[in-house]
Structure 1
Amino acid sequence: MLFLYCVLLVSCLVMLVAGIVEQRRHFANLERIPNRVLVNGIRGKSSITRLCAGALRGGGLTTVAKTTGTAARFIHPDATEEPVYRKFGIANVVEQIGIVRRAAAYRPDALVMECMAVMPALQEINQSKLIQSTIGVLCNVREDHVAEMGPTLDDIARSLSRSMPYGGICVTAEKERFDVLQEEADARDCRLVYADPETVSDEELRGFGWFTFKENVAIALTVAELLGVDRATALKGMYEAPPDPGVLSVERYLAPGGKRLRFANVFAANDPESTLMNINQLLDLGAVDRPLNVVINCRPDRVERNGQMGAIVPDLRPDKVFVIGHPAKSAIDAIPAEWRDRAVDLGGEQRDGEEFVHELLAHLGEHSSLVAIGNIHGQGEVLLEHLAELPPDEAEDAPSPAPAAEEPAAPSFARPFDPYADDPHGPDPYGTDPYADFPDGDQAYAGTPYGVPAQTQAPHGQTPHGHTPYDPTPHGQAPYGPQPGRDRQPHPQTAHPQPQPQQGAQASQPSPGPWPGEQPYGGGGPQRPQRPADPYGIAAATPVPAWPQPQPQPQPQYPYIPGEPR
Structure 2
Amino acid sequence: MLYLYFVLLIGSVFLLIAGIIEQRRHYAALHTIPSRVLVNGIRGKSSITRLCAGALRGGDLVTVAKTTGTAARFIHPDATEEPVYRKFGIANVVEQIGIVRRAATYRPDALVIECMAVMPALQEVNQSKLIRSTIGVLCNVREDHLAEMGPTLNDVARSLCRSMPEDGICVTAEKERFHILQEEADARNCKLIYADPDTVTDEELRGFSWFTFKENVAIALVVADLLGVGREVALQGMYDAPPDPGVLSVEKYVAPDGKRLAFANVFAANDPESTLMNINQLLDLGAIRRPLNVVINCRPDRVERNGQMGEIIPDLKPDNVFVIGHPAKSAIDAIPADWRDRAVDLGGERRSADEFMPTLLGRMSDGSSLVAIGNIHGQGEELLEYLAELPADESEPEVAAGDAVAAAPHQPQRLDPYASYPTAYEERYQASQTQEIPVITIPAPAQAPQHYAEVPQQYPGNQQYAEAQQYAEAQQYGQAHGAGQAEVSAWFRTARPAAQSYGEDPFGRPTDDDGGGHPPRA
Q: For the superposition of Structure 1 and Structure 2, which TM-score range results when normalised by the shorter chain? A: 0.7 to 0.9
Task: Report the equivalent of 2:289.
Answer: 289
Relative distance call for 1:73 and 1:414 in structure 2 (3 A) is closer
Cα distance in 1 for partners of 2:93, 2:195 equals 28
Taking a change above 3 Å as real, the CA distance of residues 7 and 285 of structure 1, as seen in their structure-2 partners, is: same
Q: Give the conservation status (yes or no) of the 8 Å contact 1:421–1:460.
A: no
Letter paired with 1:233? V
Amino acid at match of 1:278: N
Number of the residue aligned with 1:418: 416
C-alpha distance in structure 2 between counterparts of 1:156 and 1:232, whole Å: 35
Q: Is the 8 A contact 2:290 2:368 kept in 1?
A: yes
Q: Map of 1:63-212 to 2, 5 A cutoff?
A: 63-212=63-212
Q: Report the equivalent of 1:396.
A: 396
Decide whether the 8 Å contact of 2:55 with 2:233 is kept in 1: yes
Contact 1:55/1:234 (CA < 8 Å) preserved in 2? yes
Once residues 299 and 407 of structure 2 are traced to their aligned partners in structure 1, the CA distance between those partners, rounded to angstroms, is 50
CA deviation string 1:158-185 (max 9, x = no partner): 0000000000000000000000000000
Instruction: Give the C-alpha shift of residue 381 in structure 1.
Output: 0.7
1:408 Cα deviation from its structure 2 partner:
12
The residue correspondences of 1:521-536 to structure 2 (distance < 5 A) are: none
Distance of 1:155 and 1:166 partners within structure 2: 20
CA deviation profile, 1:21-72 (whole Å, cap 9, x unmatched):
0000100000000000000000000000000000000000000000000100
Q: For the Cα contact (< 8 Å) 2:352–2:382, is it kept in 1?
A: no
Give the Å deviation of 1:10: 0.9
Please list the CA deviations of residues 373-412 of structure 1 after superposition, one character each: whole Å capped at 9, or x if unmatched. 0001111111111111111112222x212339xx999999
Which runs of structure 2 are paired with 1:480-495 in the superposition (5 Å)?
A: none
1:514-561 deviation per Cα after TM superposition (whole angstroms, max 9, x unaligned) = xxxxxxxxxxxxxxxxxxxxxxxxxxxxxxxxxxxxxxxxxxxxxxxx
1:246 lines up with 2:246 in the alignment:
yes
Q: CA deviation at 1:204?
A: 0.5
Q: Specify whether residues 409 and 420 from structure 1 end up closer, same or farther in structure 2 by C-alpha distance, changes over 3 A only.
A: closer
Alignment-derived partner of residue 306 in structure 2 = 306
2:25 partner amino acid: R
Residue identity in the other structure for 1:332: I
In structure 2, C-alpha distance between the alignment counterparts of 1:408 and 1:194, rounded to whole Å? 41
Alpha-carbon distance, 1:417 to partner: 3.5
1:109 shift after superposition: 0.1
Report the alpha carbon displacement of residue 6 of structure 1 after superposing the two structures with TM.
1.2
Task: Report Cα offsets for 1:127-154 as digits up to 9, x if no partner.
Answer: 0000000000000000111111011011
1:348 positional shift:
1.7
| Aligned counterparts of 1:350 and 1:276: Cα–Cα separation in 2 | 29
Tell me, in whole angstroms, the C-alpha distance in 2 between the residues paired with 1:251 and 1:420. Answer: 18
Counterpart of 1:49 in structure 2 is 49
1:190-211 C-alpha deviation (Å, 9 max, x unpaired) = 0000000011111000000100
Q: CA deviation at 1:353?
A: 1.9
Match of 1:372? 372
1:89-132 Cα offsets, whole Å, 9 max, x none, are 11000000000000000000000000000000000000000000
Q: Report how many residues are paired.
A: 425
* 2:274 paired residue number: 274
CA distance in 2: counterparts of 1:347 and 1:309, whole angstroms: 15
Name the residue aligned to 1:40: 40
When Rg is computed on C-alpha atoms for both structures, the one with the higher figure is 1
Equivalent residues of 2:281, 2:421 under 8 A apart: no
Aligned to 2:462: none
Q: Which amino acid aligns with 1:401?
A: A
The aligned amino acid for 2:399 is S
Partner SS for 1:308: helix
Distance in 1 (alpha carbons) for counterparts of 2:110 and 2:380: 35
Q: Deviation per CA, 1:280-304, whole angstroms, max 9, x where unpaired? A: 1111111100000000001111111
User: 1:52 and 1:460, CA in 2 relative to 1: closer, same or farther beyond 3 A?
Assistant: closer
Q: CA offset at residue 415 of structure 1?
A: 5.0
Sequence identity of aligned pairs in percent?
79
Gaps of 5+ in 2: 429-522
SS in 1 for 2:64: strand
Contact preservation (8 Å) 1:29, 1:101: yes
Amino acid paired to 1:273 = E
Equivalent in the alignment of 2:454: none
Contact kept in structure 2, 1:306 and 1:330, CA below 8 Å? yes
Higher relative contact order (CA 8 A, sep 6+): 2
Tell me by how many angstroms 1:460 deviates.
Answer: 7.8
SS at match of 2:11: helix
Equivalences for residues 330-341 of structure 1 within 5 A:
330-341=330-341
Q: Any idea what SS the aligned residue of 1:403 has?
A: helix
d(CA) in 2 for partners of 1:420, 1:316: 21
TM-score relative to the length of structure 2: 0.79
Given the superposition, is the C-alpha separation of residues 259 and 423 from structure 1 closer, same or farther in structure 2, using an over 3 Å criterion? closer
After superposition, the Cα gap between the structure-2 partners of 1:215 and 1:379, relative to the gap in structure 1 and judged at 3 Å, is: same
Instruction: Name the aligned partner's letter for residue 72 of structure 2.
Output: A
Aligned amino acid, residue 78 of structure 1: D
- Paired residues for 1:369-518 under 5 Å: 369-397=369-397, 399-403=398-402, 416-422=414-420
Letter in 2 for 1:111: L
CA spacing shift, 1:460–1:150, aligned 2, 3 Å? closer
Give the aligned residue type for 1:380.
G
Secondary structure of 1:279's aligned partner = helix
CA distance 1:15–1:202, shift in 2 (3 Å): same
The residue identity in structure 2 corresponding to 1:226 is L
By percentage of residues, which structure has more helix? 2
Deviation of 1:422 (Å)? 3.6
Q: What is the rounded CA distance, in whole Å, between the counterparts of 2:336 and 2:106 in structure 1?
A: 55
**Match for residue 528 of structure 1?**
none
Q: Work out whether 1:354 is the aligned partner of 2:357.
A: no
Superposed structure 1 runs of 4+ greater than 2 Å apart: 407-424
Taking the aligned partners of 1:140 and 1:409, their CA distance within structure 2 comes to: 36
Residue correspondence of structure 1 range 22-41 to structure 2 within 5 A: 22-41=22-41
Per the alignment, in what secondary structure is the counterpart of residue 123 of structure 1? helix
Counterpart for residue 3 of structure 1: 3
Give the conservation status (yes or no) of the 8 Å contact 2:281–2:424: no
In structure 2, what is the Cα distance between the partners aligned to 1:354 and 1:152? 41
Distance 1:420 1:408 in 2: 21
Letter of the structure 2 residue corresponding to residue 257 of structure 1: D
TM-score, length-normalised on structure 1?
0.73
Matched to 2:402, the amino acid is: P
Q: For the residues of structure 2 that align with 1:150 and 1:411, how far apart are their CA atoms?
A: 45
